[in-house]
């Protein structure tokens, strides 16, 4: 027997209540515009239903299908699905087996995971300042803080804006540093004809719900170096590699009592695997991703055009929406806190990406001065950016920024 949903309770109470068809906002009601919002539809629901019907929701064939589709999309040899970009970053460093206590160069202006992954591996984060203009990792500071104990660098394509990998990678190679790209803010971005995520040794992507596309939670590791990933499938799944079943083959052949239960543990693994439910959503989201990226680019162009005349603000960074794919849009202003409160009153969610990690108590023992990031972040406001953001909503946000009294 099907349960009946009390639909009438979900309907607006007031009989006169009407909705703007393009924004889905109630007319004459305050706005309620989210900063990020996943764009999910019936197609994703149908894909989950399919996984239900097969009764296979754990690590299974859909994960492999999504991995292959992702490798093809990015244009790399191998992709391995995990349950977050945090896990991807942890495993990416683990792939190299660096001795405990070595140093990894990371930007200060990033999400916690970029540096936490360093600590998970018993390595030391060396925090690098931001480029004043692009807010990506500062190449001069990188050179300055590098020493012989450094083993890797993790550039973050901040907001989706590419780090100049054509300069960073040759520099890192010369120093013998491994390069792991934190691509959590981009999915499908291309820099100088080469996909972001394929410039370094390993690229890490995020499918958390606020990112370019989502699987609820999820992540992907990519490489063009199969040797590097030889243990990664075991590392993401409690030490068991499905290929171990092949090892079992010889037992099976020799002994009619099948050794189908056999597996061998060779590496320390984590419970980091992606599952078939997430992969089913991911396959659908991937097919929509080019559309999402295009939509975000159009929104950024509209913001840039609409805000051009406002003297008191500058774009967060030199956005090139026609060339790159962005997950974050924002502005800089010295009236940051007051403008945030103004927008909040008008129903517009905003954010600050990020408080530099060098200011976080967790990292207080890793003292590396990052004066540009620490000075500039006080001016950052991230503005709503997601594929379902309506033109009227962007126009409303622009109007509210223009209405704001900066000079008081």
Ligand X SMILES: *Cc1c(COP(=O)(O)O)cnc(C)c1O
Q: Enumerate binding residues for ligand X (CB under 6 A).
A: 84-86, 110-111, 113-114, 156, 182, 184-185, 206, 208, 219
Task: Give DSSP secondary structure letters for 351-369.
Answer: B-S---GGGSGGGTTS---
Q: How far is the CB of 170 from ligand X (least distance, A)?
A: 24
Nearer to ligand X, 38 or 398 (CB): 38
205 with 85: CB under 8 angstroms? Answer: yes
Count of Cβ atoms closer than 10 Å to residue 385 Cβ: 23
Q: How far is the CB of 357 from ligand X (least distance, A)?
A: 11
Q: In what order do the strands lie in the sheet with 124-128?
A: 78-82, 219-223, 202-206, 178-182, 150-153, 103-107, 124-128
389 with 348: CB under 8 angstroms? Answer: no
Q: For the chain, what's the residue count?
A: 408
Instruction: Record the tokens describing residue 282, joined without a space.
Output: 């991911």
Q: Which helix (H) or strand (E) holds 105?
A: strand 103-107
Q: How far is the CB of 400 from ligand X (least distance, A)?
A: 26
Nearer to ligand X, 60 or 81 (CB): 81
Q: How far is the CB of 346 from ligand X (least distance, A)?
A: 26
Nearer to ligand X, 162 or 219 (CB): 219
Q: How far is the CB of 93 from ligand X (least distance, A)?
A: 13
Establish how many alpha carbons lie within 13 A of residue 26's alpha carbon, considering only the half-sphere containing its beta carbon: 12
Nearer to ligand X, 142 or 339 (CB): 142
What backbone torsions phi and psi does residue 336 show, to the nearest 5 degrees? -50, -55
Nearer to ligand X, 181 or 393 (CB): 181
Nearer to ligand X, 82 or 340 (CB): 82
Q: How far is the CB of 302 from ligand X (least distance, A)?
A: 24
Nearer to ligand X, 156 or 401 (CB): 156
Nearest residue to 342 via CA among 267, 258, 399, 292: 399
Q: How far is the CB of 390 from ligand X (least distance, A)?
A: 25
Count of Cβ atoms closer than 10 Å to residue 144 Cβ: 12
């Amino acid at each position: 027997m099907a349960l009946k949903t009390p639909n009438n309770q979900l309907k607006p109470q007031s009989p006169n209540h009407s909705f703007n068809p393009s924004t889905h906002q109630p007319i004459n009601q305050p706005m309620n515009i989210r900063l990020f919002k996943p764009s999910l539809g019936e197609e994703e629901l149908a894909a989950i239903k399919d996984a239900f019907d097969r009764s296979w929701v754990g690590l299974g064939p859909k994960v492999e299908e999504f991995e292959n589709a992702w490798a093809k999309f990015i244009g790399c040899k191998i992709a391995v699905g995990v349950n977050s970009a945090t896990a991807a970053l942890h495993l990416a460093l683990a792939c190299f087996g660096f001795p405990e206590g070595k140093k990894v160069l990371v930007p200060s202006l990033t999400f916690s995971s970029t540096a936490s992954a360093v600590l998970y591996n018993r390595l030391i984060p060396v925090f690098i300042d931001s480029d004043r203009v692009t807010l990506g990792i500062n190449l001069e500071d990188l050179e300055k803080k590098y020493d012989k104990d450094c083993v890797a660098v993790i550039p973050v394509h901040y907001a989706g804006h590419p780090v100049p990998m054509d300069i960073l990678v040759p520099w890192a190679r010369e120093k013998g540093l491994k390069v792991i790209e934190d691509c959590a803010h981009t999915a499908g971005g291309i820099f100088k004809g080469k996909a972001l995520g394929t410039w370094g040794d390993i690229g890490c992507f995020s499918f958390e719900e606020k990112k370019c596309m989502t699987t609820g939670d999820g992540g992907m590791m990519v490489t063009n170096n199969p040797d590097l990933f030889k243990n990664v499938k075991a590392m993401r799944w409690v030490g068991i590699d499905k290929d171990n079943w092949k090892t079992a083959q010889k037992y099976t052949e020799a002994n009619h009592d099948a050794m189908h239960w056999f597996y061998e543990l060779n590496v320390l693994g984590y419970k980091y695997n992606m599952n078939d439910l997430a992969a089913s959503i991911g396959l659908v989201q991937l097919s929509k991703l080019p559309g999402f990226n295009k939509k975000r680019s159009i929104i950024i162009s509209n913001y840039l055009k609409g805000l051009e005349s406002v003297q008191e603000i500058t774009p967060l960074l030199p956005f090139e929406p026609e060339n790159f794919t962005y997950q974050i849009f924002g502005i800089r202003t010295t009236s940051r806190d007051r403008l945030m409160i103004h927008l909040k009153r008008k129903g517009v969610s905003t954010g600050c990406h990020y408080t530099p990690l060098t200011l976080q108590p967790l990292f207080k023992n890793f003292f590396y001065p990052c004066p540009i990031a620490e000075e500039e972040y006080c001016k950052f406001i991230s503005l709503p950016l997601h594929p379902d953001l309506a033109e009227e909503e962007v126009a409303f946000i622009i109007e509210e920024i223009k209405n704001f009294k900066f000079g008081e």
